[in-house]
Structure 1
Amino acid sequence: MLSASWSTFRDRWQVFAGAIITVCLGVGLVQSSPLTLVSSATAKIPSGLPKAERRALQDRYASADTLLGMELGLAAFIAVFIVGTTFAFTVEQRRRDLALLRLTGASRGQVRTLLLGEAFLLGTVGSGLGILVGLPLMRMQAWMLTEFAFVPPGFSAQWRSWIIFVGVGTGVGVSLLGVLTASARASKLRPLEALRDSGRPARTMTPSRWIIGTLPLAGGIAMLTMVPHLGTEQAKRMSTLVSMVLVIAFAALAPLLAQLVGGLLTPVLRGRLGQLAQANLRDGVRRSAATAAPIMVFVAFVAGWTGAQATLTEAGRQEITRNLRGDFVVAADRPIAAELATVDGADEAALASRLASPTGVGEVMTAAEWAHRYAGSGQHENTKIILTLAVRP
């Protein structure tokens, strides 16, 4: 069956092109992200740094590790999702061909093996291309982490040969995992029913789609209700998981949603071309849903996830501002090192190095708090007062 898989894969390469590119980028990220993550996690903190700067650098490395871990999970999820929707589309498009195979004596296992062979070839090609782009992606990630100040200047990720096996295994594994549902559906085709042209529209939803759609939807809603009760960092991690769960839910419910959207557009699409598009949508709702699935992923993770992260970041900033306690709290919209240096006992050099910023000083607070101690005067001559300034550039 592998030769048959190669024949169909070669004849329908245009259909698989998007999935190959997705697997290629997924393998590239799966290859580059762990290398960058390992290099960041094992980076040595320079000795001799002040305690505050040492803590700040450790926090920056920890943030980089968290970001790379999230990126790794998203890359694997998107690759599985795109491969799955691609094969779901091909199964709907090739129902008659697959039914003809069943009619000529092919068993259900052989039909499933045919699709698994196509997925294996797709994963192999995508993995080979992904290995080639992995090294440039690793360098790009290191550059971006440095550019956005997650890591100090001069940081570079180190190449490790074992990552090649991880990349190939991931590419092939992701492809095979993504095709499991589509291959199971294809193996259940009844030859005579699939070849019968009754003109009736395809069934919109199946029991399995209702289950796969409603359970993640309920879970996603439940997790959304938990977000306000979590801390900022936990809520950010939860938002990523919520995005994944809701994407799965809406992908399963996509045939129903596609039909509803088509109905809403009826007043707009009145021409012959619009009527033809609506008729095609009614006759192939699953095919249309599989076509729209990659766009759904793009919108969910670019618009939804980015918006959630921005909202949670602002909520965290406001929470920190409300809970901030200190002897002196300073808020400004411009560099104020020179003015703060006039405070009795303030260290002008330390202030200049910490507060000078081309964009000015914004909210008060930073992860690395620092303290300056000076002696009192007058009636407080024998006391020592701690002046704590916490500034967020």
Structure 2
Amino acid sequence: MLSVAGVAGVALRTLRTRWTTFAGSFVALSLGVALIAVMGLALASSLDAPDRGPERFAAAPVVVRGADRLRVSTPAGERVQRLAQPRAVPPGTVTELRKLGTVVEDRSFAVRARGGPGDLVGHPWSVAAFAPYTLDAGRAPRSAGEVVVSGDWARPGERVRTDHGTVRVVGTVAPRGFEHAVFYTDARAARLSPRSIQLAVDADADAVRAAVSGSADVRVLTGAGRRSADPDPDRDEKALVAMNALFGTAGGVTAFVSVFVVASTFAFSVAQRRREFGLLRTAGATPGQLRGMVVAEAFLVGVLASAVGCVLGAYGAPRLASWVVAGGLAPPWFGIGDAVWPYGVAFATGPAVALCGVVAASWRAGRTGPAQALREASVDTRTMTWGRLLSGTGLLLTALVTLALALYGDPGDLLHRKTYVSRPMLLITAVALLAPVVVRPLTRLLAWPAARLPGAGGMLVRENAAAGVRRTAAIAAPVLVTVALTGSLLGATATLDEAKATEARQRTSAAFVVVPGGGTGGGTSSGTGSGTGGGTGFAPETLRELRDVPGAEVSPTSSSAVYVLEDGVALNRAEARAADPGPLAATTRLPVAAGRLGDLDDGSIVVNEEWRRHTVGQRVRVWLGDGTPRTLRIAAVMTTGTGDNGVYVTPRNAPGAPVDRVDVALRHGADASAVAAGLRAAVRTSGGRVLTGEQWVRAGRPGTDRTTRTGLLLVLGIALLYTGISLANTMVMATSDRVRDLTVLRLAGATRWQVLRLVGAEALVVVAVGGVLGLLVAALDLAGMWGALCLLSVRTPLRLPWTAVGTAMGACALLAVISSVTPAAIALHRATTQPTATRE
């Protein structure tokens, strides 16, 4: 009978003598702990943005800003949303402010200049002093054709062509880091951007507050509050939210893959050590003691791996911070702080993951009987236990049932990132547990062509892989993870992008689309969150010229928003487009599920099925883009689609929204080339672009945003890294267990290279098994997304990323062949040099 101390001693000696068995688990756990420590440190550093001072108005005594927020009282408290079209400071208030001191109206508008940065923004020269900007060359602008620019992309004396006409650069200022500015004279800026939603006032703050007290929602900004008048004042918080999602997803996948790899490795290790456990049972060890020994081994590996992982995490976290800053995924100020709790969480993760991964394996070890010491069979038996079968079947049914419930209740949820990242993990676990059921027939099927070739090599490959079910399943498991995640994640984003492009193509029947220079039109509403109140759009005279083009049916539209209070407590924002219903019907094919688009008027609205109230004829209370409350009748209801089917209102219900897109249909008998020429002539002075309908769809084709793409690549990189570790470790373990088999082949007359080719071919077959199972998981996952798109009235083909999947499988195959052939070659060399020891 072994004592507790004896069990612990055996565990320590096992770790020392069978270190190759635990090397893969140790490395996997070390890297997992390191990654979790890195992600934890990054999350701790990104929980709060630092206090940032004002930028554009750092030197302004007081800034007065028009109403830019919608505030709605609810039983659960006040709800606030930023307005799509902030209101200007009332003229009467401006008059009162002028009595107190100097008042400078701020104007901001997009500028596109040949050879200049893509994010140029125009201002009146009088506001430059509030940043403060100071001239470092040239002079201030004095006429409408003169500008001052920030940076060195243009020098004084140069003439630059812009979408607002050709201008001459007369001066430059040093860049301030938060914008690329072009300064016009005050008069020219006022003509280019008539609306001004904020003012700089040189007066006492208390006096200013008294002057604006009668104006509803007008804000007086002083001190740090002046930051609200900066461009995109919430950009730091947005960046932190994106980083939190990135690091959180990567950390979750790391934990999942760690448990998966460690569980697979320990399960194979226990299967290999059946004779060892049988001998211990013969020596008097109880089942509980065997389980305790396996658990003790895992715990010791976890503790040692955690210590190493925390050291690696402390080394890697600052480098991750530098990488995300250099890649533009984090603000320049982002860095790793001095938080301690991530190390504690990471250190506890190692033993916890090891113990989670060894639970099933320890139970199997305890069931080993004394007779197992006499077993020599190479064919695996009872690979599918009742517990494994029930667990795998339960997880698979859970995945299918939750998918069916989502399709029935909320198919749109399947299109969200958090859903299509997490769902494959459930399917991967289920398929991995059920793998022994299909490994043998699938192996025989994949190896059937090779078995038909002359000679015994193909037959041996098939039979060896099919006989060693546990070995095949253990090696195929990491390949399954990598291929399934690659196919599911990249396939989901590609399918969604294709669905959105299909929607845009189906909704557009215009022959031409006219957009401001450099844009695709239809973007977010100008002024939202920017603090500028400006925007880019077509001037009224340009719209008149477009309407005068012979043969053109013109439909100008504007980007705006409406706000609705759902369930009495949630104030939701819905993107909206403003258009006249007649021209709109001629240039678009909206997916109308009920009602008529032609019934849209100033007293009605077109909504989609995602709205809580979406019955034609119902009246809904909304707030327009400038905060004006209205009660509108539902004229038509659109299908939900991928979420881009917003709402439609008339221009009267989108006050202040500039026209940022003009769809053009051809009248009966009109010549397309003549209409195109007329449209180009109409927008030549304003710098607009004339695109065909198909060109506009291609130019605006949606793509996965940079943060999401980087997060997915990080997740897939983690999966591939663990695949390499697990493959190498499992192959070394499997080869060390087959030394006698390989030696017998040599004694039977096989050459060394024939044996090595046999081992490499077996590895390729096993990788193919894992790849097929991974593709099955990816196909099931993407089929659910395709079903959701069909229910949302979007007909689009599935996009499986064959190139990425092929690359992942190729990398797995290369790793498997190297990890199997190399130890086999070493084992054969030793067997050749020590024939007596080998044959004993």
Could you say which TM-score interval applies, normalised by the shorter chain?
0.7 to 0.9
What residue is the counterpart of 1:13 in the other structure?
19
For structure 1, list consecutive stretches of 5 or more residues without a partner in the other structure. Answer: 347-363, 374-382
Say whether residues 1:67 and 2:73 are aligned partners: no
Q: Counterparts in 2 of 1:188-267, with a 5 A limit?
A: 188-193=367-372, 195-197=374-376, 201-225=380-404, 226=406, 229-231=410-412, 235-267=416-448
Residue 336 to residue 295, structure 1, CA distance change in 2 (3 Å): closer
Amino acid at match of 1:42: D
Residue 301 to residue 384, structure 1, CA distance change in 2 (3 Å): closer
Q: Among 467, 474, 480, which residue is 1:290 paired with?
A: 474
Alpha-carbon separation, structure 1, partners of 2:361 and 2:12: 18
What residue is the counterpart of 2:223 in the other structure?
none
Kindly indicate whether the alpha-carbon contact (under 8 Å) linking 1:16 and 1:122 is maintained by their aligned counterparts in 2: yes
Say whether residues 1:98 and 2:293 are aligned partners: no
Residue 55 to residue 318, structure 1, CA distance change in 2 (3 Å): farther
Kindly indicate whether the alpha-carbon contact (under 8 Å) linking 1:120 and 1:175 is maintained by their aligned counterparts in 2: yes
- How far off is 1:173 after superposition? 1.2
Q: Secondary structure at the match of 1:54?
A: coil
Moved more, 14-23 or 83-92: 14-23
Amino acid at match of 1:264: L
What residue is the counterpart of 1:352 in the other structure?
none
Q: Among 263, 272, 288, which residue is 1:84 paired with?
A: 263
What residue is the counterpart of 2:287 in the other structure?
108
Residue 332 to residue 275, structure 1, CA distance change in 2 (3 Å): farther
Q: Whose helix fraction is larger, Structure 1's or Structure 2's?
A: 1
What residue is the counterpart of 1:121 in the other structure?
300
- How far off is 1:96 after superposition? 0.9
Residue 148 to residue 227, structure 1, CA distance change in 2 (3 Å): farther
What residue is the counterpart of 2:28 in the other structure?
22
Alpha-carbon separation, structure 2, partners of 1:344 and 1:137: 53
What residue is the counterpart of 1:344 in the other structure?
539
Kindly indicate whether the alpha-carbon contact (under 8 Å) linking 1:138 and 1:157 is maintained by their aligned counterparts in 2: yes
Residue 113 to residue 389, structure 1, CA distance change in 2 (3 Å): farther
Q: Among 40, 46, 57, which residue is 1:40 paired with?
A: 46
Q: Counterparts in 2 of 1:228-377, with a 5 A limit?
A: 229-231=410-412, 235-270=416-451, 271-312=455-496, 315=499, 334=518, 343-344=538-539
Residue 336 to residue 167, structure 1, CA distance change in 2 (3 Å): closer
Instruction: Give the root-mean-square deviation of aligned CA atoms.
Output: 3.9
- How far off is 1:139 after superposition? 2.5
Alpha-carbon separation, structure 2, partners of 1:170 and 1:77: 12
Q: Secondary structure at the match of 1:268?
A: helix
Moved more, 8-17 or 136-145: 136-145
Alpha-carbon separation, structure 1, partners of 2:46 and 2:269: 41
Q: Whose strand fraction is larger, Structure 1's or Structure 2's?
A: 2
- How far off is 1:253 after superposition? 1.3
Residue 204 to residue 88, structure 1, CA distance change in 2 (3 Å): closer
Kindly indicate whether the alpha-carbon contact (under 8 Å) linking 1:232 and 1:312 is maintained by their aligned counterparts in 2: no
Instruction: Give the TM-score taking structure 1 as reference length.
Output: 0.78
Amino acid at match of 2:14: T
Residue 9 to residue 152, structure 1, CA distance change in 2 (3 Å): same
Residue 43 to residue 131, structure 1, CA distance change in 2 (3 Å): same
Q: Among 138, 149, 155, which residue is 2:334 paired with?
A: 155
Q: Quick check: which has more Rg, 1 or 2?
A: 2
Alpha-carbon separation, structure 2, partners of 1:158 and 1:14: 37
Alpha-carbon separation, structure 2, partners of 1:10 and 1:175: 18
Alpha-carbon separation, structure 1, partners of 2:488 and 2:285: 44
Residue 149 to residue 92, structure 1, CA distance change in 2 (3 Å): same
Kindly indicate whether the alpha-carbon contact (under 8 Å) linking 1:202 and 1:283 is maintained by their aligned counterparts in 2: no
Residue 88 to residue 200, structure 1, CA distance change in 2 (3 Å): closer
In the TM superposition, what whole-angstrom CA distance separates every residue of 1:138-190 from its partner, at most 9, and x where no partner exists? 23432343344332223112132233222221111111111111001110112
Say whether residues 1:169 and 2:348 are aligned partners: yes
Alpha-carbon separation, structure 2, partners of 1:216 and 1:333: 53
Amino acid at match of 2:658: L
Alpha-carbon separation, structure 2, partners of 1:330 and 1:223: 45
Alpha-carbon separation, structure 2, partners of 1:91 and 1:13: 14
Amino acid at match of 1:73: G
Residue 211 to residue 133, structure 1, CA distance change in 2 (3 Å): same
What residue is the counterpart of 1:386 in the other structure?
657
- How far off is 1:98 after superposition? 0.8
Amino acid at match of 2:430: A
Kindly indicate whether the alpha-carbon contact (under 8 Å) linking 2:8 and 2:296 is maintained by their aligned counterparts in 1: yes
Kindly indicate whether the alpha-carbon contact (under 8 Å) linking 1:119 and 1:179 is maintained by their aligned counterparts in 2: yes
Moved more, 297-306 or 25-34: 297-306
Alpha-carbon separation, structure 2, partners of 1:210 and 1:333: 62
Task: Tell me the number of residue pairs that the alignment of Structure 1 and Structure 2 aligns.
Answer: 362
Q: Secondary structure at the match of 1:221?
A: helix
Alpha-carbon separation, structure 2, partners of 1:330 and 1:19: 59
In the TM superposition, what whole-angstrom CA distance separates every residue of 1:197-235 from its partner, at most 9, and x where no partner exists? 467651342222221211211222334443694446962
Kindly indicate whether the alpha-carbon contact (under 8 Å) linking 1:201 and 1:282 is maintained by their aligned counterparts in 2: no
- How far off is 1:388 after superposition? 6.6
Residue 118 to residue 179, structure 1, CA distance change in 2 (3 Å): same
Residue 93 to residue 273, structure 1, CA distance change in 2 (3 Å): farther
Alpha-carbon separation, structure 2, partners of 1:71 and 1:253: 26
